[in-house]
Amino acid sequence: MNQHDYQNRQVETIRFTPPADDELKTKFKFKAEVFLVYSLLLLSLLSVWYILTARSVSIVAFPKVSSINVESWPSIKIGNRWLLRSGKREVTVRSDGYYPYSGEILVSSDHLQTHQINLVPLPGKLAVSLEPIAEADLYIDGNLIGKVPNLIEAVEAGRRRIEVKAPRYQPFKINMPITGQRKTQSLDVRLEPAWATIQIDSTPSGANVFVGKEKIGNTPIQAEILQGNKTITLRNKGYKDWVKRLKINPNQPINIGTIVLSKNDGVLKLTSIPTKVTVLLDSDFKGETPLTLKVSPDKSHSVKFQKKGYRLLEKYFTIKSDNTLQFTAELTPELAKVNISTTPPEAELLINDEPMGFANQSLDLPTFEHKITVRKKGYATYETNITPRKNFEKRMRIRLKTLEEASQENSLSRQNNRGRVTNVTFTGQKLKLFGNIRTTLGTTKQESKGASNQPLRRVFLNRPFYISETEVRNIDYRQFIASHSSGKFGSLSLDEDKQPVSNVSWLNAALFCNWLSRRDGLRPFYVIKYGDLLGFRPDSTGYRMPTEAEWEWASKAKGGEKNTFIWGTEYPPPSQTGNFADESFKGDGEKIIDYNDGFTVSSPVASFVSNDKGLFDMAGNVAEWVHDFYKATPETRPEQDPLGPIGGNSHVIKGSSWKSSSRASLGSAYRTFQEKRASDLGFRIARYAR
């Protein structure tokens, strides 16, 4: 074998022979199958893991016809439920007519859970029709949208407050559910009138007609007036305005008819001699002269002029519309006889500081208060005030005291008053001194008509005492309590300075007395602590309220037990005797017929003549608290300086008031009681002189 052949044999030995095609295919197929098996196994393991760790989730949407997609991977839907792992998952929901939803749901660890998604409807449309007018404003939920009739686009779905408004019509209001979803809904609106027809005429016709301040025409007229409370005024030259307040309700016509207009008033200007004369027009109190009054024209009127001490003057007149009538009333003094005798007889007499000659004389004096002065050299001057009364002759016997007698009396008085002599209080009230009195209280059963609380009983007032000339005034009481108000009766004030204080309790009256005692350096009479009355000091000369015995004696006219009233025995009282419930009284209850005192409520104190003791308003004006506790059956045995029962629940009230009118209540013996304050109840003060 040669070398060439050897080399060729070696090459043939190491040459690779490739496998056949079938063998390759078999090997590839085997490997692929192994890979698939492993892949399926891995996928199966992953699926089992997902199924074991995923949660069954139901996603419910409204409306029901909605498409639901879970955008987060992985997610598996099985029927109506989703297999989702815990955590946030993005969801989209869509439905025709609704805003699409795109958001997240939070899948919890619960195995079974439900999530609900409500789609919001798209806005709807509202087609509004309108009657009976052409145009109005549309408001939705309080916001002006535009004019109607119209098709309103994009009305948000839900219940909406819809209003349609137009001038002179009542607003149309409705709460309407708006479906939305781009659907169109219809609303038919019919507006109702906001006015009523008013018909009015006048005599004479042609009067201007005003609604409020707006003139709407002349009578006769039929007009449409908007609803509400309206003031209708008819105005015609030469006539008074006719004014009426009406409530206008829509669609309710009003026919006022024909109004007869009244002519303008005439003007009455009144003056008088003397001045400040009380004027009553057609028996109604109008005030004091000088006075200007409006008076109805073309009819007869009466005007009365009254003044204490003068005769009543009455005039009748007729006045034309828009005319002025002036009249001066000259009153004639009403005279009464006054007989004065003096010791010594040569004393000089002065009346109202005017010399009248010797004091022993008989005079005709006007029936108002006069100052009487009697003087003579070497004697103490005598002064007093008197008020002559019609049809009564007043007799005065005056004995002048020598200067020595007057000096001794003053010295004794100073000793009895512990060095203090005064008849004027800190507040300026004047006091009168009385003492050594024998009197009978009460009245007969015949006079009292069987009243058991007014029995006749004898008393002796030996201890000298002072009593105030007038009732305590508002100006006096407000120095004690500055904030006090006596109030009003209707629209009439009870709180003027010189009116008597009222609406004061008995305890507050006692507190005032103690306060005034301290101001005047006197020991307080009442023992009051912490707002309670603990007792009183009988030996004190401090201020107090009068006892019932003192008050009743002081109220009686001269003649004592024989006189039922402060003025005597007759009833009703003479003119201008006091302030009672007369024809001008505005309250409930009886009135004194044909009596007019010139005051509807309480009058300034001392507006009427004093009684013969120089005390004012002991009948009328206000009733008065007195010191005593009330007992229905008073002690009938004789008593000396009685202070009443030692205790009780209420106190005695004496005297009549501006609300009183009956014969019984005007009597001096009349007594009643109560615990509370009142608008016609006040008090006056008193104190022992020693």
Asked which of 75-89, 254-268, 377-391, 473-487 is least confident by mean pLDDT, the reply is 377-391
pLDDT at 194: 93
pLDDT at 449: 58
What six digits make up the tokens of 285?
A: 């109190």
Backbone angles phi, psi at 124, to 5 degrees: -110, -170
Write down which residue in 151, 174, 190 finishes a domain.
190
Is 523 found in the same domain as 434?
A: yes
pLDDT at 417: 43
Q: Half-sphere exposure (CA, 13 Å, Cβ side) for 481?
A: 15
- 644 in a domain, yes or no? yes
The residue segments making up the domain with residue 8 are 3-41
pLDDT tens digits, 376-385: 999 999 988 8
Is 108 found in the same domain as 148?
A: no
CATH number at residue 130: 2.60.40
pLDDT tens digits, 14-69: 454 555 566 667 777 777 777 777 777 777 777 677 777 888 999 999 999 999 99
pLDDT at 28: 74
pLDDT tens digits, 161-196: 999 999 999 999 999 999 999 999 999 999 999 999
pTM of the predicted protein model = 0.44
What six digits make up the tokens of 51?
A: 């199924």
Is 325 found in the same domain as 442?
A: no
pLDDT at 685: 97
Whether the CA torsion 534, 538, 542, 544 is positive or negative: it is: positive
Q: Is the per-residue pLDDT at 421 higher than 60?
A: no
Is 573 found in the same domain as 445?
A: yes
Is 523 found in the same domain as 620?
A: yes
Q: Which own/partner pairs from 525-533 qualify as long-range (CB within 8 Å, at least 24 positions apart)?
A: 525/687, 531/507, 533/507
The C-alpha atoms of residue 460 and residue 465 are separated, in whole angstroms, by 13
Q: Is the per-residue pLDDT at 409 higher than 70?
A: no
Spatial CB neighbours of 131, under 8 Å, sequence gap ≥ 6: 188, 189, 190, 191
Is 601 found in the same domain as 585?
A: yes
Write down which residue in 368, 393, 416 finishes a domain.
416
pLDDT tens digits, 272-326: 999 989 899 988 878 889 999 999 999 999 999 988 788 899 999 999 999 999 9
Is 525 found in the same domain as 404?
A: no
Q: Residue 9: pLDDT band by 50, 70, 90 thresholds?
A: very low
CATH number at residue 320: 2.60.40.1120
Q: How many domains does the chain have?
A: 7
Q: Distances from the Cα of 178 to the Cαs of 121, 124, 137, 142, 172, in angstroms?
A: 10, 7, 19, 16, 17
Q: Is the per-residue pLDDT at 389 higher than 60?
A: yes
Is 597 found in the same domain as 652?
A: yes
Is 67 found in the same domain as 25?
A: no
Mean pLDDT across 421-431: 83
